[in-house]
Amino acid sequence: MSYFFEVLSSRIGLSRIGRIIFSKKRKLYVSTPNIIIPITNSLMRQLNFISEFEDHEIFTVSKDIFLKIGFIKEKFKDNGFLFMTNGTLNRFEEILKTNVAVFSEDNIISIIPFNIPTTSISKEFATAEIKNHLLNTKKILKNYSNLNFGVSIKVFNYTELFSLYIPLIEEYKNIKILNLVDIFDNLSNFRNVLRVVAQIKKDLDNNLIIMASGRITSKKFPMLIYLGVDIINSSYLLHLSAENFYDSIEYLIPIYKMRYLPCSCIGCKGNLKNIITNLLIHNLITATNYMNKIKQYLTYEDYRVFVEKSSYDDNNLISILKILDKDYFNLIRYNTPISQKNKKIQALGPSSYFRPDFREFRKRVIENFKPEPWTTLIILLPCSAKKPYSDSKSHKLFHKVLRQFPEFPKFQELIITSPLGVIPRQLENIYPVNSYDISVTGDWDAEEIDIAAKMLVRILKKYDRKVPVLCYLNEEYIDIVKSAANELENNIIYAEIHGKTTSDDSLNTLKRLILEFKDHYPITQDREGSNYLTRSWHRKFIKILDYQFGIGSGQKIITNGMKPIKMRKLANINLIDLKTKQKLGEFKPSTGQIFLTLTSLNRLYPLPSISDTSYIVFNGESIQGNTLFRAGVLDYSKDLIPGNQVVIYNETKDSIIGTGTLLVGTNFLQHTQTGRIAKIIEKKKGN
């Protein structure tokens, strides 16, 4: 039986989009993330169930009666199946032996069960049970090495026991699914849950399918997907429905409390009396629709904000998010794309402050932003609701004042904002600066002030302490600057704001202070590159390239000057070398990134030296097709992040043979030998 899992792309956090390939020949694919719908005798007798779910992608069956070839290969021949018996391991072995032919078919895989009659046991007993289970499981995996399996993992509230399973999972390659039976049952144990998730990502093959079973309700779905779960077993809804609980997603409501049906599904149609007999149908439809909503957000919207919104009224879920952001950043940064395309990013408050893409942005600005040597004045400005800031009414007024001075290119503008921190003007067009939105009340909490103040200190310390800093900010921003001032030696001048920063009196104050302090810092450094001072996009592209590829990258690539040419049908901008007329790269406003040509990459990394960052060594001299797969990767840098541009060398590292956009990051490459790695942008001619 041919069966495997393929990651198509990484998403924010540990979430990912993939597909289970039951049959390449028949093109029988199951998209992930997904929900597994249970099939029972009683459900199969309901026309409503069949009409609603006959086209669902993946089911679970627990009775061997459903293993008949006619059922699997005729009625549901284009659906995927997981066989999960509720009986003992011995009973499973009997069913397996009797139905080997069925399990050899291309649309079914069996999950080796771990069922014991009690869940309240000591750690010692749990350890003994797990070790015994592993011995029996090993026999099955060995005796049926030609079949693929899922393995059920139980830890009995002792998450540290998960490590007992790792040797088995690493040894047997016919394990394709990790069925986490009880790990997500008790989310109040959130720190230990995250340790297990991290262990899976750091120690095991990242092409293993992660399946969540147990007491899983719809409310948990968004967080589980964010944690990297691929498929969710909805069988717990059978129990909830039998106990007369109505799933509204936000809450499980006892049916006796229901007076108004907030749903118009086929199970809820009619009067309230009908819902009792159709409760399971409703609960399954609700769970399925919610998963479809998750897939929509994961693919086309900002999934992180969806996770935050769905977690706000559950302290355990929001705690998971906070701890993951702060304590596991070095794990999730290599799974989270560096940018999102054409997506509005809503910052909802404290839960958004340390989301991985925001942290990555702050980290890169602090590390890769290098002051222009001709800077004589630093001006601190407030943010605006409209992005990029330069298109806003307020910043147009600020620029009207600044551009009255011939020296304005020597002024470094820094925009203060929450929750991103400090934005150099040159980086206002990149992600997430070009996409974020936040509620503005004029009140900053202590954490917002701390984030912005620390970043301001790090950036201002890059400048000579004698460069004056003009603070043209509303009152609510002043606490940030004053907090930063305690660690700075710069002369900070606070402008008196009359009402709003856009008022005539305030703008006149700005003009007066610029006139007064613009010449206080005499330039003594070489003004290399200052011929292009008045060209705003030139200055922006230099700093964007530094942001993406490291300090000095912009000057190495744009050695002869650059002419930006906007493409007619797209908003993209081609960067053309003024001297050679060669295309250096393409700026895409939708992602806020510059994608370099091989010409630019050879300037950036002139041979025989090679890049020490974001590179892959290919197993060959030429790349075929438009996708780079793991099998073709000999070596790679340890800083690969999804969405970044990657340099591809030949196997002898004496030629750049291509470049691409990463689909996955370092974690994935370290822990798998198959799968898609990058989408090729350009190949060396002759390839």
How far, in Å, CA of 176 to CA of 172, rounded? Answer: 9
How far, in Å, CA of 577 to CA of 558, rounded? Answer: 7
479 in a structural domain? yes
Q: Is 382 left (phi over 0), alpha (psi -120 to 50) or beta?
A: beta
pLDDT for the residue numbered 27: 85
How far, in Å, CA of 142 to CA of 168, rounded? Answer: 11
Q: Which of 390-404, 516-530, 571-585, 623-637 has the lowest mean pLDDT?
A: 516-530
66 in a structural domain? yes
296 in a structural domain? no
Q: Which of 265-274, 357-366, 503-512 has the lowest mean pLDDT?
A: 265-274
Report percent pLDDT > 90 for the chain: 76
CATH of the domain at 392: 3.40.50.10630
Q: In what order do the strands lie in the sheet with 627-629?
A: 627-629, 676-683, 656-662, 645-649, 615-618, 633-636
What pLDDT digit, counting tens, does each position of 162-200 carry?
999 999 999 999 999 999 999 999 999 999 999 999 999
Phi (first) and psi of residue 185, to 5 degrees: -65, -40
DSSP 257-290: G-SS----STTT-S-HHHHHHTHHHHHHHHHHHH
Task: Please indicate whether residue 201 or residue 526 has the higher confidence score (pLDDT).
Answer: 201
DSSP 592-626: TEEEE-HHHHHHHS-TTS--SSSEEEESSSS--SS
Say whether the peptide bond before residue 388 is cis (omega within 30 degrees of 0). yes
How far, in Å, CA of 334 to CA of 12, rounded? Answer: 10
Q: In the listed set 236, 258, 276, which residue is the last one of a domain according to the structure?
A: 236
- Is residue 587 scored above 80 in pLDDT? yes
466 in a structural domain? yes
- Is residue 620 scored above 60 in pLDDT? yes
**Pairing between strand 4-10 and 16-23?**
antiparallel
Whether the CB-CB separation of 130 and 164 falls below 8 Å is answered with: yes
How far, in Å, CA of 181 to CA of 84, rounded? Answer: 12
- Is residue 413 scored above 90 in pLDDT? yes
How far, in Å, CA of 183 to CA of 189, rounded? Answer: 9
575 in a structural domain? no
Q: How many C-alpha atoms does 44 have within 13 Å on its Cβ side?
A: 13
How far, in Å, CA of 425 to CA of 240, rounded? Answer: 55
pLDDT for the residue numbered 394: 96
What pLDDT digit, counting tens, does each position of 287-343 carry?
999 999 999 999 999 999 999 999 999 999 999 999 999 999 999 999 999 999 888
Number of domains into which the chain is organized: 2
Q: What is the DSSP letter of 632?
A: G
Alpha-carbon separation of residue 628 from 14, 554, 619, 620, 674 (angstroms): 22, 27, 11, 12, 11
Amino acid letter for position 530? S
**Pairing between strand 583-588 and 573-577?**
antiparallel
Work out the average pLDDT over 372-399. Answer: 95
Whether the CB-CB separation of 442 and 385 falls below 8 Å is answered with: no
Q: In the listed set 236, 265, 299, which residue is the last one of a domain according to the structure?
A: 236
Coil, strand or helix at 87: coil
Q: In the listed set 517, 541, 572, which residue is the last one of a domain according to the structure?
A: 517
DSSP 505-553: HHHHHHHHHHHHHTTSS---S--TTGGGTT-HHHHHHHHHHHHHH-TTH
How far, in Å, CA of 428 to CA of 431, rounded? Answer: 8
pLDDT for the residue numbered 70: 67
Q: What is the DSSP letter of 74?
A: I
Strand pairing partners for 345?
436
Q: In what order do the strands lie in the sheet with 469-471?
A: 421-424, 411-417, 377-382, 469-471, 492-494
Q: Residue 487 sits in which domain range?
A: 369-517
428 in a structural domain? yes
Whether the CB-CB separation of 546 and 552 falls below 8 Å is answered with: yes
What is the torsional sign of CA 467, 468, 472, 474?
A: positive
How far, in Å, CA of 578 to CA of 603, rounded? Answer: 15
pLDDT bucket at 534, cuts 50 / 70 / 90: very low
Q: Which two tokens stand for residue 24?
A: 């390449």
How far, in Å, CA of 600 to CA of 609, rounded? Answer: 15
What pLDDT digit, counting tens, does each position of 455-479 carry?
999 999 999 999 999 999 998 899 9
458 in a structural domain? yes
Q: Which residues contact 518 (CB under 8 A, 6 or more apart)?
A: 376, 377, 405, 407, 410, 411
How far, in Å, CA of 493 to CA of 409, rounded? Answer: 20
Strand pairing partners for 596?
585
pLDDT for the residue numbered 687: 54
**What is the helix (H) or strand (E) element at residue 12, kind and residue range?**
none
- Is residue 510 scored above 60 in pLDDT? yes
Q: Which of 56-70, 159-173, 421-435 has the lowest mean pLDDT?
A: 56-70
pLDDT bucket at 344, cuts 50 / 70 / 90: confident
pLDDT for the residue numbered 117: 65
Q: What is the DSSP letter of 495?
A: P
Task: Please indicate whether residue 442 or residue 629 has the higher confidence score (pLDDT).
Answer: 629
- Is residue 670 scored above 70 in pLDDT? yes
Whether the CB-CB separation of 580 and 567 falls below 8 Å is answered with: no
pLDDT for the residue numbered 3: 52
Q: Which two tokens stand for residue 578?
A: 């003024």
- Is residue 1 scored above 50 in pLDDT? no
DSSP 92-115: HHHHHHHTHHHHTSTTEEEEE---
How far, in Å, CA of 143 to CA of 124, rounded? Answer: 29
Task: Please indicate whether residue 24 or residue 133 has the higher confidence score (pLDDT).
Answer: 133
Can you give the pTM of this predicted structure?
A: 0.94
Report percent pLDDT > 70 for the chain: 96
Work out the average pLDDT over 377-394. Answer: 95
CATH of the domain at 23: 3.20.20.105
How far, in Å, CA of 243 to CA of 237, rounded? Answer: 10
Alpha-carbon separation of residue 53 from 19, 79, 270, 484, 571 (angstroms): 19, 10, 21, 59, 43
Work out the average pLDDT over 372-394. Answer: 94
Work out the average pLDDT over 421-433. Answer: 96
Q: Which of 64-78, 84-98, 248-262, 526-540 has the lowest mean pLDDT?
A: 526-540
pLDDT bucket at 535, cuts 50 / 70 / 90: low
261 in a structural domain? no
Q: By C-alpha distance, which of 419, 429, 422 is closest to 389? A: 429
pLDDT for the residue numbered 530: 47
Q: Which residues contact 171 (CB under 8 A, 6 or more apart)?
A: none
pLDDT bucket at 113, cuts 50 / 70 / 90: very high
